[in-house]
Structure 1
Amino acid sequence: MATVSSVLLYHLDELLDDEFKRFKWYLTEGKLQGINPIAKSKLENVKQIKVVSLMEEQYGSSDAGKIAVRILREMQQNNLAKKLEENLREAQPAVIQYTSATENMSAVWRWVRSGRQWLWSVLFPPQDQGVMQNISADNSSSVKAPVIKDNTFNGPVTFN
């Protein structure tokens, strides 16, 4: 699976030299509302790979991608912005987490989107001197679980 950094780099490499200079200008001048500008001295004479690093440093990985899409749209690079947005969706896993607890047991249920596939796992936290178990499955219905033996498990478990 591609990383946010590699996706950003790939799309910034698509810009011509003058377009890339304009992209950096948007970052330095703070032309987009709600973002902190990156110091002009940090962006002067740097290549795309350094710009990606600086953006991730300044804004975090997820926001760096969103900001790049906004800048590309401001530059009227709508096709490139759309491609970047689609590819970022594939690179950033979506996570849904739910914690359930009963009198005798608690568990953390987690669904993670990886590319076009959703993976789920359930984590049984240790209680007293218990052992943490991680059970996961993908959408092909195969379950990956450690062998559980010599344990006491209280509470209902249903796999649909």
Structure 2
Amino acid sequence: MATTKILILDALNELLEAEFKDFKWRLENSDTPIPRGKLENANCHKVVDLMVQHHNTSDAGKIAVRTLRNINQNELADQLKGKLQEVPEDVPAGAGASSSGKPVPTPTTGVTVTITSNGGTVKAPVVHGCNVNGPMTFN
């Protein structure tokens, strides 16, 4: 299955040179701009890496879709949006597995997750990109 970065890269590779320059210009002049000096000579691969570095992976996908729409590449934006919906959420390395090596389902909002170990080591869950209202306990 393709990753978010690969899907964005594939979409950028469909752009003509002038369209790609317009795409980069819009990234430089967005609400959360990527510095112009970093984008100036960047190829498609570098642009994708910069988008992920300046935003998180899922936001980079949303920004790519929005920016494609802004340069009137609506069909390409729709294709990318559809493909991005099929990509599972990116999980940091080492997360999402129990001590037995079996995958742990990704929790959803309002769900309590209990991880147990029969003699193995359990790494604490990763909390990333969320707002917590109320207590949070790690034992």
Question: What band does the TM-score fall into relative to the shorter chain?
Answer: 0.5 to 0.7
Larger proportion of strand = 1
Q: Give the drift of 1:131.
A: 2.1
**Residue identity matched to 2:118:** V
1:69 to 52, 65, 70: 65
What is the rounded CA distance, in whole Å, between the counterparts of 1:15 and 1:5 in structure 2? 16
Kept in 2: contact 1:125–1:131 (CA 8 A): no
Q: Which protein has the larger Cα radius of gyration, Structure 1 or Structure 2?
A: 1
Structure 2 CA distance for partners of 1:132 and 1:46, relative to 1, 3 Å: same
CA contact (8 A) 1:125 1:132 kept: no
26 and 132 in structure 1: CA distance in 2 versus 1, 3 angstrom threshold:
farther
Name the counterpart of 2:115.
125
2:8 counterpart SS class? helix
Distance change (3 Å), C-alpha of 1:57 and 1:6: same
Give the corresponding residue for 1:14: 14
1:57 is aligned to 53
SS at match of 1:8: helix
The alignment's TM-score, normalised by the length of structure 2, stands at: 0.68
Deviations 1:89-112 (A, max 9, x none): 11233944322xxxxxxxx3xxxx
Question: Which amino acid is 1:15 matched to?
Answer: L
In structure 1, the partner of 2:87 is 91
Code of the residue aligned with 1:71 in structure 2: it is: T
TM-score normalized by the length of structure 1: 0.59
Unaligned runs of 5+ in 1: 100-107, 109-123, 134-160
Q: Deviations over 1:112-148 (max 9, x none)?
A: xxxxxxxxxxxx533xxx6289xxxxxxxxxxxxxxx
- What is aligned with 2:100? none
Q: What's the C-alpha RMSD, in Å, of the aligned pairs?
A: 2.0
Q: 1:39 aligns with which of 29, 35, 42?
A: 35
Query: Whole-Å Cα distance in 1 between the matches of residues 4 and 119 of structure 2?
Result: 31
- 1:46 deviates by 1.2
The size of the alignment, in residue pairs, is 103
Partners of 2:19 and 2:48 in 1: how far apart?
Answer: 15
Alignment partner, residue 24 of structure 1: 24
Higher relative contact order (CA 8 A, sep 6+): 2
